Amino acid sequence: MADLVCEDLNMAFTNPQTGAVVEALKNINFTLQKGELLSVLGPSGCGKTTLLNLIAGFLNPTSGTASLGGRVIDGPGLERGMVFQQGALFEWLPVSKNVDFGLRMKSTDPAHSRQLVEKWLDIVGLQGFGDTPTYQLSGGMQQRVALARCLVNDPDLILMDEPLGALDALTREKMQSLVLELWKETGKTIIIITHSVEEALLLGERLFVMAPRPGRIHKEYNLPFAERGLSETLREVKQDKEFNEVREEILTMIWDMEEEIMGRG
């Protein structure tokens, strides 16, 4: 039941000074089954983040609808968790208070909250960090807190806006494994937006390559690498021949788009 359905989504921004209209998204149609892992890739300005903000409910589409489990999205909600590029943690609260923020807002029983928080801190590998101030954590640890804060509310859909973009290469790989593990263990539907082709291939069961002006889905892939990443190490997956072929193909595609933008601009 918890399918994400986007029907004829259009999003246009009007510049209040010049009156110029930018079509950030045009005629977006797709359906995401429960438990699918979708990664979205594209050159800058193709509307990836706009798409995510629409699904999260931070923006309302100009026309068309997005619905989750049959309910039309018209605002932010607990059933759609969001993870931002920079953790967006509340630095005045310690780790545990950050994680149980959502629970506290709906006045969950504190004993139950504590249990949940401990469970999720355990899962993301932060056991014992409950009382640590967040500003003392490294970037990777902060993203783990953000993941736990999102997952503790048991959302149907997890939206990730370049969640690993600000991390160093090594931490990033560990976090990619963590995301795959969480996906497998929880069976959540996940949309992940990324700049990195490699990350999109590794984490995407399905992959949208988006194109700009107007923002649209240019090509869709169904990929096996996410499944393989659960049993093999990510480095092995990356050395696969097919992986490299698809990567080159997508890179060329995005390269051409960028060229086109530059030419037109």
- Give the Cα-Cα-Cα angle 52, 55, 61 (nearest 5 degrees): 100
**CA 154/CA 21 separation, integer angstroms:** 38
Q: Is 92 in the site for other proteins (CB under 8 A)?
A: yes
Q: Is 78 in the site for other proteins (CB under 8 A)?
A: yes
- Per-residue binding string, other proteins, 216-255, x by CB under 8 A, is ----------------------------------------
Pair 203, 176: CB distance under 8 Å? yes
Min CB(257)–other proteins separation in Å: 27
Q: Is 102 in the site for other proteins (CB under 8 A)?
A: yes
CA within 13 Å, CB half, 173: 8
Q: Is 58 in the site for other proteins (CB under 8 A)?
A: yes
Q: Is 157 in the site for other proteins (CB under 8 A)?
A: no
Min CB(91)–other proteins separation in Å: 4
* Residue from 135, 187, 235, 263 binding other proteins (CB under 8 A): 135
- For 163-201, what is the HEC assignment? CCCCCCHHHHHHHHHHHHHHHHHHCCEEEEECCCHHHHH
Stretch near other proteins under the rule CB under 8 A, chosen from 40-48, 118-126, 144-152, 203-211: 144-152
Q: Is 82 in the site for other proteins (CB under 8 A)?
A: yes
Q: Is 86 in the site for other proteins (CB under 8 A)?
A: yes
Q: Is 163 in the site for other proteins (CB under 8 A)?
A: no
* Residue from 74, 91, 245, 256 binding other proteins (CB under 8 A): 91
Q: Is 165 in the site for other proteins (CB under 8 A)?
A: no
Stretch near other proteins under the rule CB under 8 A, chosen from 50-58, 122-130, 178-186, 249-257: 50-58
Bridging pattern class, strands 63-68 and 4-14: antiparallel
Return residues touching other proteins (CB under 8 A). 56-58, 75-78, 80-82, 84-86, 88, 90-93, 101-102, 105-106, 133-135, 146, 149-150, 153
